[in-house]
Amino acid sequence: MPVETVLYNARVFANGRITRGGIAIEDGKIFRIAKEINLPIAVNKVDLKGCLAIPGLVDVHVHLRGQMQAYKEDFFTGTSAAVAGGITTLLDMPNNEPVTMDSGSLKERMRDARSNILANVGFYSALPESLDEIHRVAQCGAIGFKLYLNSQIGGIGIDDDDKLLEAFKEIRELGIPIAVHAEDKEMIEKVSKIQQSLGFVDINAYLKAHTTNVETKAVRRILKIAHRSKAHIHFCHVSSDKTIFLIQKARKEGAAVSCEGTPHHLLLSSECLKNLGHISLTDPPVRTGKVMRKLWEALRNAQIDIIASDHAPHSIGEKKGDAVWNVKPGIPGLETLLPLFLTKVNEGQITLENLVRLTAQKPCEIFSLQGRGSLKEGYNADITIIDLHRQSRIDASRFYSKAKYSPFDKWSVKGIPVKTFVNGVLVMDEGKIVENAGAARILRGKALLM
Ligand code: NCD
Ligand code: ZN
Ligand code: ZN
Ligand code: ZN
């Protein structure tokens, strides 16, 4: 019996090294990785022309929007952008309209997503107030919970440490992680008010209200609760080396903590923020070149566990405005992450092995996404084919995302994804979406329900 598909004439990144050969796919799974002569016959043969097959990227921080925010992005455009960028699985954030914060809103979101996604999607939920509801949300298959410390989102009072401790303890029993946006609301509001009353409306004023101390204060607070609850905490978009130092220290003391870095915090500095203007405004904001270099050090030392896009699309109107205080923070990132970092691989700034670890292996380990994140026999055939030698230029006007702008617009890149397979189905070919929604799955968390 022939298998469904064989990808041949490839270089395959598996077991930490690259070997020539191909991949046989059957029932959406990797059936065999082998030298060409050892591959089975197939109905469908795809010549990869010497390109490199890596595990499909897993982006743990994406805002797909939809529902009342579909004017910013929807499930179809967001997941199209993902697969165009070589991302086969993503985790969707809960700050939606309505907020994903209980079993009802989570189920509704899953229902809306079902027939509209091209990449696999797992869902976060904001924290509901009651422990019972936390339990039900986990039962419905949330991959993790999300806690925003910079604004009140969800049912739990974010200023109440005792309540948070209680919730963290419950979630620790369920065995799923809590992702945290660590910026202290009170500190931001205090400085913002002063800056506004003085009439400051520029990016500098925004940076003064969102300092690295705003981040470390929130991180310190959560680490205390993490130690006491033993819950697994994942810090989103870390922007400073001080934060990373605190996380490392907590780790050494036995806390279950992880963190992610974003392309913008690693590749843009506050010096260029002033030139790029409002479209590159994001929370937390990008930092000085000096801090940026320290983040790179942390990335190479595996102190940053994951690279995630924090794809946060807004309408172009929402990104404009005379006063920085009226601009929506957030930038689209699904279509630029991989080309930007493949360029860094070509420049020798990061090894391909580390990039795969940061964008596929570790995300799956940390969020318990089984059978994904590596090219291995028996694993789901989520495969991204990259041409490491192809030179290109980022063109935001051609994004699949509804947010057709980027601080990386016009950047030259070397190394791009040329094909994306989701569960064994070719969904992107040479930049084009070639499949209707249907192959992708909704991923459910493996909560240990009692
Ligand atoms: C995100 C958004 O727009 O939803 N914005 C951002 O600046 N990163 C929210 C968030 O991730 O904090
Ligand atoms: Zn329980
Ligand atoms: Zn955030
Ligand atoms: Zn975000």
How many residues are given for the chain? 450
The CA distance from 185 to 81, in Å, is: 32
Residue 71 Cα, ligand 1 centroid: separation in angstroms?
16
* Burial profile 15-53: b = 16 or more Cβ within 10 angstroms, e = fewer: eeeeeebbbbbbebbbbbbbeeeebeebeeebebeebbb
Q: Tell me which residue has tokens 């300092």.
A: 211
Q: Tell me which residue has tokens 């279509």.
A: 335
From 420, 383, 366, select the one nearest 61 (Cα to Cα).
366
- For the chain, the domains span 56-370
Between strands 144-148 and 120-126, the pairing is: parallel
Residue whose CA is closest, atom 11 of ligand 1? 310
Active-site annotation holds for 310: yes
Between strands 3-14 and 17-26, the pairing is: antiparallel
pLDDT by residue, tens only, the chain of 450 residues: 899 999 999 999 999 999 999 999 999 999 999 999 999 999 999 999 999 999 999 999 999 999 999 999 999 999 999 999 999 999 999 999 999 999 999 999 999 999 999 999 999 999 999 999 999 999 999 999 999 999 999 999 999 999 999 999 999 999 999 999 999 999 999 999 999 999 999 999 999 999 999 999 999 999 999 999 999 999 999 999 999 999 999 999 999 999 999 999 999 999 988 788 899 999 999 999 999 999 999 999 999 999 999 999 999 999 998 899 999 999 999 999 999 999 999 999 999 999 999 999 999 999 999 999 999 999 999 999 999 999 999 999 999 999 999 999 999 999 999 999 999 999 999 999 999 998 999 999 988 775
Task: Please work out whether the CB of residue 29 comes within 6 Å of at least one atom of ligand 1.
Answer: no
Q: What is the DSSP letter of 240?
A: -
The CA distance from 148 to 344, in Å, is: 31
The CA distance from 378 to 58, in Å, is: 18
CATH number corresponding to 56-370: 3.20.20.140
Residue 449 Cα, ligand 2 centroid: separation in angstroms?
7
pTM for the predicted model, two decimal places: 0.98
Task: Please work out whether the CB of residue 192 comes within 6 Å of at least one atom of ligand 1.
Answer: no
C-alpha angle 296-302-303 in degrees, rounded to nearest 5:
80
